[in-house]
Amino acid sequence: MSHPNNVKEVEEDLHLYAKRKAVYPKAVDGWFRRLKWLIMVVTLTIYYVTPWLRWDRGAYAPDQAVLVDLAHRRFFMFSIEIWPHEFYYVAGLLIMAGIGLFLLTSAVGRAWCGYACPQTVWTDLFVHVERFIDGDRNAQIRLANAPLSLSKITRRLIKHGLWLMIAVMTGGAWIFYFADAPSLLHDFVDGRAPFIAYATVGVLTATTYTFGGLMREQVCIYMCPWPRIQTAMMDEKSLAVTYKDWRGEPRSRGMKKALEEGVPTGDCIDCNQCVQVCPTGIDIREGPQIGCITCALCIDACDKVMHQLGKPRGLIDYITLLDAEEEAMGHPRMPVRKRIFRPRTIIYFSIWGAIGLAMMFSLGNRTRIDISALKDRNPLFVKLSDGTVRNAFTIKVRNMEARPRQVEIGLLGMDDARMWAEPGDRDTAQRTIRLVVAPDSVSKDRIYVISKAPEPAREEFSFTVRALDKQGGSDSDKVTFDRAEGQ
C-alpha cells in the first residue's frame, strides 16, 4: 500500500489544466505589422460601415445595400437579390469560402488566423487599446504587479470601458444587417426595438468583450477547432513561420565575449524579442506549435535585431519546410511563386473558380419570374352535367422584380382544355389568363381547368407563365389532368 504522503506528492505533480500565463505583446514595426494594420482597418471598416451603405432598387424594395430581410425572406447584396428557393447560392458561397480557406492554408499556411480571423482582428484592436491606456509591454507588466491604487483603478476602468464600448458597437453593427439600419438605430435608442435586437446585442457584447479582451490567445489555442483542421491541409510545400536553427544555434547573449573566447555561436543572441511580440506568447524557436497563428510579427522583431547586428535578415522567416532544408544545406531556395502555384493549389483554385463562375452564370441567366402548380387531391376531378371534366389547381406566380408585373398564364398541351380563375366561372374559360403580380411577392390563385375529351384517364400538360414587359421572362410547371379514378 502506498504511503499517504507519496500519494499526495503524486497528486500534486498531476496538473490536468495548465495555468494561464498572462501575455503582454510588445509593440513592433515592420512589413508584416503594417500588413496587419491594413487588413484590420479594411475588415473593421467593411463590418461597421456596410449596413449604412445605400443601394437604389426602386420604390418597391429596400434601399439598404446589404440586408438579410428575415420578415420578407430575402437576402439583398447590392444588385443581387436571393429568395428562399434560391438558397443554393448561399450554400455555394459557403462552399467557396471553405475551399478558399483550403487554398489559402495550402499556399501560405495559417495566414487566415494571423490576419483576417475575427478573433485575431478584434483581439488586435483590444491590444492596441490596452497599449494606449497602460503603455507597452514593460509598463503593462509593472502595472499588473503594482499594488492597487487610484491610478491603477482609473486605468483599468478606462480600458475596460473602451473595451465594452467596442463590444457594444460590434453587437450593434451586427443587428443592422437584419433591418433598415437608420430606422433600427432610432428604435433601439428609443427602446422600441424588438426584444431579439437587444438580446443579440447583449450576447455579442459579452462574447466580443470576453473573447477579444479577456481570453484572447486562449480562444486560438484551446477553443478554436480550425488550427487542428489546418494542420491536415498543410504540407512541406506550405509557407510557414520558421526559425532557422542551423543558423541561430548555439545561442549566445554575449557575442563579443564568445568571439574573444573562440566559442562557436549562431546568429540568435537570445534577446527574446520574438517571444515578447508574439500575441499568443509562444517561442517560435521551439518549432511548429498550435499556438502559432502565423502573424509573422516575430519576423519583424528578429529582422530589426539582425539589422542592428549587421547580419542578414531571415533568421526567422516565412518559408516552406522543403526550402528550409535546402537552405540548411546551402542550396538556393525556390521562388515563392513556384511554391504557391503548384498542382495542389491550382486544383483548389480551379474548383473555387469553377463554382464562382457557375454561380455568376446562373445569376446572370436566371429568370425573374416562375410558376408552380399544386393539384387538388380531394376531389381528384369533378364530372360536370355536360360530360366535361374539371380539375382544380392552386397556382403560385413568383415575381422577383422590385416592381409590379403583368403576366400571362397559359396552357401547354391538352388542346381542348380551357381554364378560368376565381371568382370567374366556366363561361369565361379560355386558354390564357392575365393578372398582375405585386413587386417582390408571390401571387396565389385558384384555377379550374376543364376538358371535354373522354380519355385518356390521366394526361400531362403544363401551366406556363410569361411576363408581358420589356424584360420578359417565362417559366412552366408540369402537372396531370385526371378523368377517372384508380389510374
Using alpha carbons, select from 109, 101, 336 the residue that is nearest to residue 238: 109
Higher pLDDT, 455 or 201: 201
178-187 mean pLDDT: 95
% of the chain surpassing 70 pLDDT: 94
pLDDT band with cut points at 50, 70 and 90 for residue 472? confident
Measured distance CA(328)–CA(331) in Å, rounded = 7
Question: What's the residue count for the chain?
Answer: 487
Looking up cell 564568445 gives 258
- Is pLDDT above 70 for 263? no
Where are the extended beta strands (E) located within 31-127?
66-69, 74-77, 80-82
Q: Output the pLDDT for position 484.
A: 86
pLDDT band for 34, please (50, 70, 90 cuts).
Answer: very high
- Averaged pLDDT for residues 218-239: 88
Q: Residue 259 to residues 128, 244, 253: CA-CA distances in angstroms?
A: 40, 21, 11
- The pLDDT value recorded for residue 87 is 87
Longest dimension (CA), the chain: 119
**pLDDT surpassing 70 at residue 139:** yes
| pLDDT score at 47 | 97
State residue 256's pLDDT score. Answer: 64
Report which residue type is found at 22.
A
Highest mean pLDDT among 54-63, 137-146, 245-254, 329-338: 137-146
Q: Give the pLDDT band of residue 255 (cuts 50, 70, 90).
A: low
What is the residue-averaged pLDDT of the chain?
90
> Which residue is it, cell 510588445?
26
On whether the CB atoms of residues 317 and 242 are closer than 8 A, the answer is yes
Residue bearing the bigger pLDDT, 203 or 262:
203
- What's residue 12's pLDDT? 55
Q: Which of 476, 477, 478, 480 is nearest to 456 (CA)?
A: 480
Domain boundaries, the chain: 31-232, 235-334, 369-482
Indicate whether this model's pTM tops 0.75: yes
Q: Give one DSSP letter per residue of 211-265, joined into a string.
A: IIIIITHHIIIII-SHHHHHHHH--TTS-EEEE-HHHHPSP-S-HHHHHHHT---
Q: What integer pLDDT is reported at residue 424 of this predicted model?
A: 85
Q: 369-482: what CATH class?
A: mainly beta
The residue whose grid cell reads 522543403 is 322
What local confidence, expressed as pLDDT, does residue 440 receive? 86
Q: What is the percentage of the chain residues whose pLDDT exceeds 90? A: 70
Neighbour count for residue 363 (Cβ, 10 Å): 14
Residue 264 has pLDDT above 80, yes or no: no
Average pLDDT over residues 68-74: 88
Q: Which residues contact 288 (CB under 8 A, 6 or more apart)?
A: 240, 242
pLDDT at 138: 96
The string of pLDDT tens digits covering residues 4-14 is: 555 555 455 55
Query: Residues with Cβ < 8 Å from 59, sequence gap 6 or more?
Result: 402, 403
> What average pLDDT does range 50-57 have in this prediction?
94
Higher-confidence residue of 362 and 17: namely: 362
DSSP-derived 3-state class of residue 473: coil
As a whole number, mean pLDDT of residues 254-261 equals: 63
- What's the average model confidence in pLDDT over 340-353? 92
Quote the pLDDT of residue 93: 94
Beta strand ranges found along 403-440 (DSSP E): 405-412, 418-421, 432-437
Categorize the per-residue pLDDT at 402 as very low, low, confident or very high, splitting at 50, 70 and 90: confident
Residue matched to cell numbers 427602446: 191
On the question of pLDDT at 231 being above 70, the answer is yes
Across residues 181-194, what is the average pLDDT? 95
* pLDDT bucket at 65, cuts 50 / 70 / 90: very high
Torsion on CA atoms 250, 253, 259, 265, rounded to nearest 10: 10
**pLDDT interval class at 262 (50, 70, 90):** low
Instruction: Tell whether the model's pLDDT for residue 85 goes beyond 80.
Output: yes
Per-residue pLDDT at 316: 96
When pLDDT is averaged across residues 89-102 and rounded to a whole number, the result is 93
Contacts of 85 (CB under 8 A, 6+ apart): 398
Question: Is pLDDT at 409 greater than 70 in this prediction?
Answer: yes
pLDDT band at 257 (very low <50, low <70, confident <90, very high): low
Q: What is the CA radius of gyration of the chain?
A: 33
- Dihedral of alpha carbons 282, 283, 287, 293, sign: positive
